[in-house]
């Protein structure tokens, strides 16, 4: 229910008719409106929805100089009857405030986050197309907007939500390079936060990996490079015999919403799960023995992304092609059925925004 504080200014005409929804580049086309609010004098204020447009911001804004910027990644789904749903948005809200705390940024009030999000999705609901694979990618983010280049935490911030229609992020399986030199995050750092700098630091090593023919990098621990941690922008899962294994979260590893959902779903299916450190040597031995049959990444954008092979110490290792009964495909199908309101939701993860 809308409060009297949220101001809505609708665009004069929609640009939706100019979009080819059968061929969508990920994250390049945005809906008609955006949500925005400001933090000044110790409080959030002026929540508003307005037409999507460029920002006017000072060149000396702290975000440009000291990197105070965080974000979230979410999706909205439309079922076959036209209802619009979110998947575990409470987890995204909790995590953006966890990221904010680590980056010396103010927590966002729950009513601003959810009211702005729901009203924005209602306004731009025609941009959400039905059908498995079609989604609206939702990007909440916060930046330090205070002018001035003194090297200290800002006291003024801007929070926004923008949305982009999307299809599948990855198609097919990917080949990855296990990183032996560069690190994504270190103990005591902010790897667990969805901070912009975490992703900027990944781009160069990933570029190098792509030059060698890989699509992604599997990050390893910063101390010894012996244990796997994340796969690009995804959490990583390994199937060893009949056990599904993933790394524990830490101050280096993002606590992924998809990750924790897959773990719960696997347990519901009777699949044995383990959360523990995974050594690279264990993967190499698992390939040789045949005990390792699946390796896949999991995240909001990619959902579940099978990994066909990896490189380590200059040698390439290939995994068998996934069967229809693979853990990766079973979990992906079940997860998407929940997200698109095609199956029961035993844990109450769906949140309806627009009724059919």
DSSP string covering 149-202? --SS--S-EEEEEEEEEE--SS-S-EEEEE-SS--S--TTSSTTS-BHHHHHHH
Give yes or no for a contact between 42 and 305, defined as CB atoms under 8 angstroms apart.
no
d(CA 348, CA 181): 42
Across the chain, which has 356 residues, the per-10-residue mean pLDDT values are 77 96 93 98 97 97 97 97 97 98 97 97 97 96 97 97 87 87 92 94 95 94 94 92 96 94 98 97 96 95 92 94 92 96 97 91
Hey, how many other C-beta atoms are within 10 angstroms of the C-beta on 216? 25
Distances (CA, A) of 80 to 18, 262, 288, 338: 24, 24, 45, 13
Extents of the domains making up the chain:
7-166, 174-322
Looking from the CA of 170 toward its CB, the CA atoms found within 13 Å total 22
d(CA 251, CA 187): 6
The residue whose two tokens read 């609206």 is 136
DSSP string covering 282-325? HHHHHHHHT-EEEEEEEETTTEEEEEEEEEETTEEEEPPPPPTT
What is the distance between the terminal CA atoms of the chain, rounded to a whole angstrom? 17
Angle (CA) 86-6-35 rounded to 5° is 55
Let me know if 130 is exposed, middle or buried by CB neighbors in 10 A (0-12, 13-18, 19+): middle
Class of domain 174-322: alpha beta
Helix (H, G, I), strand (E, B) or coil at 43: strand
User: One fold for both 7-166 and 174-322?
Assistant: no
Which tokens hold the place of 166? 């999307």
Range 47-51, long-range pairs (CB < 8 A, 24+ positions):
47/5, 47/6, 47/7, 47/112, 47/115, 47/116, 48/6, 48/7, 48/8, 48/9, 49/6, 49/7, 49/8, 49/9, 49/116, 49/119, 49/120, 49/123, 50/8, 50/9, 51/9, 51/10, 51/11, 51/12
The CATH code belonging to domain 7-166 is: 3.30.470.10
Q: DSSP label at 239?
A: E
DSSP string covering 188-233? TSSTTS-BHHHHHHHHHHHHHHHHTT-SEEEEE-TTTS-BEEEETT
Helix (H, G, I), strand (E, B) or coil at 274: strand
Which tokens hold the place of 284? 């190499």
Report the pLDDT value the prediction gives residue 168, as an integer from 0 to 100: 73
d(CA 105, CA 177): 34
Which tokens hold the place of 307? 């990994």
Report the pLDDT value the prediction gives residue 170, as an integer from 0 to 100: 61
Give yes or no for a contact between 303 and 335, defined as CB atoms under 8 angstroms apart.
yes
Backbone angles phi, psi at 289, to 5 degrees: -85, -15
- Give this prediction's pTM: 0.95
């Amino acid at each position: 229910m809308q409060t009297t504080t949220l101001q809505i200014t609708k665009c004069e005409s929609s640009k939706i008719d100019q979009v080819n929804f059968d061929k969508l580049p990920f994250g390049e086309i945005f809906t008609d409106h955006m949500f925005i609010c400001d933090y000044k004098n110790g409080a959030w204020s002026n929540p508003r929805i307005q037409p999507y447009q460029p920002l006017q911001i000072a060149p000396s804004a702290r975000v440009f100089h000291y990197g105070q910027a965080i974000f979230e990644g979410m999706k909205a789904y439309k079922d076959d009857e036209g209802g619009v749903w979110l998947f575990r948005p409470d987890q995204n809200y909790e995590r953006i405030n966890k990221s904010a705390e680590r980056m010396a940024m103010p927590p966002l009030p729950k009513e601003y986050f959810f009211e702005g999000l729901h009203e924005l999705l209602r306004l731009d609901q025609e941009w959400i197309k039905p059908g498995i694979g079609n989604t609206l990618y939702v990007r909440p983010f916060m930046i330090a907007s205070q002018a001035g280049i003194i090297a200290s935490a800002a006291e003024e911030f801007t929070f926004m939500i923008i949305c982009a229609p999307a299809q599948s992020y990855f198609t097919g399986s990917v080949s990855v390079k296990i990183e032996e030199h560069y690190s994504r995050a270190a103990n005591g750092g902010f790897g667990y936060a969805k901070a912009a700098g975490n992703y900027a630091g990944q781009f160069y090593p990933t570029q190098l990996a792509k030059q060698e023919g890989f699509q992604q990098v599997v990050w390893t621990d910063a101390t010894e490079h012996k244990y796997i941690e994340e796969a690009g922008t995804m959490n990583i899962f390994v199937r060893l015999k009949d056990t599904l294994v993933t790394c524990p979260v830490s101050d280096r590893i993002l606590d992924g919403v998809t990750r924790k959902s897959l773990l719960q779903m696997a347990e519901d299916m009777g699949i044995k799960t383990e959360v523990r450190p995974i050594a690279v040597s264990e993967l190499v031995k698992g390939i040789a023995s045949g005990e390792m049959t699946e390796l896949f990444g999991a995240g909001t954008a990619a959902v579940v992304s099978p990994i066909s092979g990896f490189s380590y110490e200059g040698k390439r290792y290939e995994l068998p092609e996934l069967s229809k009964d693979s853990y990766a495909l079973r979990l992906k199908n079940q997860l998407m059925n929940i997200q698109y309101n095609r199956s029961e939701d035993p844990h109450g993860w769906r949140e309806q925004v627009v009724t059919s």
